Amino acid sequence: MKIQTLSYLQTQADDVVKVESVSKNRLLKNSIHRQSVICESVVISPLDRALNYGDGCFTTMYANQTHISLFHRHLQRLQTDAQKLMIDIDINLIKQAVLLAAQELLNDDTTQCAIKIHVSRGVGGRGYQLPDKPTPQVLISFYQANPFVTKLCNEYQYRLQVAQLQLSTQPRLAGIKHLNRLEQILAKHELQSLDANDLLLCDQANNVIEATAANVFVYIENRWYTPDVRHCGVSGVFRQAVLDCLTSHKLPAIIKTLSIHDVQNAQSIFLCNALAHIVPVSHFEHNSTTQTYNMQHCMDLQDAMQDWLLPEHQVWHLHNNKDVL
């Protein structure tokens, strides 16, 4: 397995893209001597299966100067998705590479960022046929991140509509954050011409599945619900964290098939992912009607999530992690 680390983070000096190939020996050396794991060259073969076939998976997480949010959950999801795709990765080596780079990049100039771990099966194989002895390629990228919605002002609006595009059904790939994202790309293109912040994506039976890059929760009669993603859609890390948080508060959410009618009749609705966390929806527009929502239920849940997340953040404190020091 080969790991390369890349930074798109802008500093006061410049915004040069920096990358480095990382080996297990180099990680050990850098962890002792604190040498940089970031440099200025990257090599991706034009024969790489991720470029040619989307043969791989990824995860994206939020980090600040103290912690990587839900880090162990992201690593677990990445390993599970890779196993489902029959890609053999060393998750501990990936973890060390992420932590070393994050410690180096997050400083007084850069207080928060998004981290994306991209896994490819590598080069080889005839056409779609799998290579006999693939060498997986891992690219760890650091990007600028936006702050969360922490409070609602009077002017806050987040408007939702329904995409014309419908998601295809493939249970073997459902839930996996694989590299084939054409449906989401087409949905984002559709969104550009609409007066909305995001779109709900439905399957071919018109069941609500997700948004263009987020999972969905709706509040109906004092209970939170989220769509079933066993047949299509992504099982997001933050979605599972919300489910676990609600269960810990003895308010378990229900995973079920949801319709547009359910969304229209909900008291509250929010979108969520690992970078934005909870995004309350203020308006839902469909078939010339507009539904407005009570967003306080979402903010109450966000407050509960912040407290619930603290122990997980402490486990993965960037500057006191025994796996790296």
Would you tell me how many other CB atoms lie within 10 Å of the CB of residue 28?
11
Encoding tokens for residue 153?
Answer: 């002002």
The pLDDT score that the predictor gives to residue 6 is 86
Length of the chain: 325
Residues of the chain with pLDDT under 50: 12-20, 22-23, 26-35, 39, 324-325
| In the chain, ranges of CATH 3.30.470.10 domains | 2-145
Helix (H, G, I), strand (E, B) or coil at 232: coil
The pLDDT score that the predictor gives to residue 98 is 94
Residue 33: enclosing H or E segment and its boundaries?
helix 24-33
Beta strands 283-286 and 159-167, pairing class: parallel
- For residues 94 and 323, what is the distance between their CA atoms, to the nearest angstrom? 12
Residue 18: enclosing H or E segment and its boundaries?
strand 18-22
Encoding tokens for residue 308?
Answer: 């619930």
The pLDDT score that the predictor gives to residue 325 is 42
| In the chain, ranges of CATH 3.20.10.10 domains | 159-311
Residue type present at position 237: V
The pLDDT score that the predictor gives to residue 158 is 95
Helix (H, G, I), strand (E, B) or coil at 301: helix
User: In the annotation, is 60 catalytic?
Assistant: yes
Q: Strand order of the sheet with strand 207-211? A: 258-259, 207-211, 198-203, 159-167, 283-286, 289-292
CA 86, 91, 93 angle in degrees (round to 5)?
A: 130
CA 296, 312, 92 angle in degrees (round to 5)?
A: 135
* Alpha helices per DSSP H over 142-295: 182-192, 237-248, 260-264
The pLDDT score that the predictor gives to residue 317 is 67
Pick the CATH number of 2-145 from 3.30.470.10, 1.20.1260.10, 1.10.357.10, 3.40.50.620: 3.30.470.10
User: In the annotation, is 221 catalytic?
Assistant: no
Give the active site residue among 18, 59, 210, 212. Answer: 210
Give the active site residue among 24, 84, 116, 177. Answer: 177
Tell me the chain's radius of gyration from C-alpha atoms.
Answer: 20
Give the active site residue among 5, 59, 60, 110. Answer: 60
CA 54 to chain centre: 17
User: In the annotation, is 2 catalytic?
Assistant: no
The pLDDT score that the predictor gives to residue 33 is 38
Per-residue CA distances from 15 to 6, 108, 160, 180 (Å): 12, 16, 34, 29
The pLDDT score that the predictor gives to residue 29 is 43
CATH code for 159-311?
A: 3.20.10.10
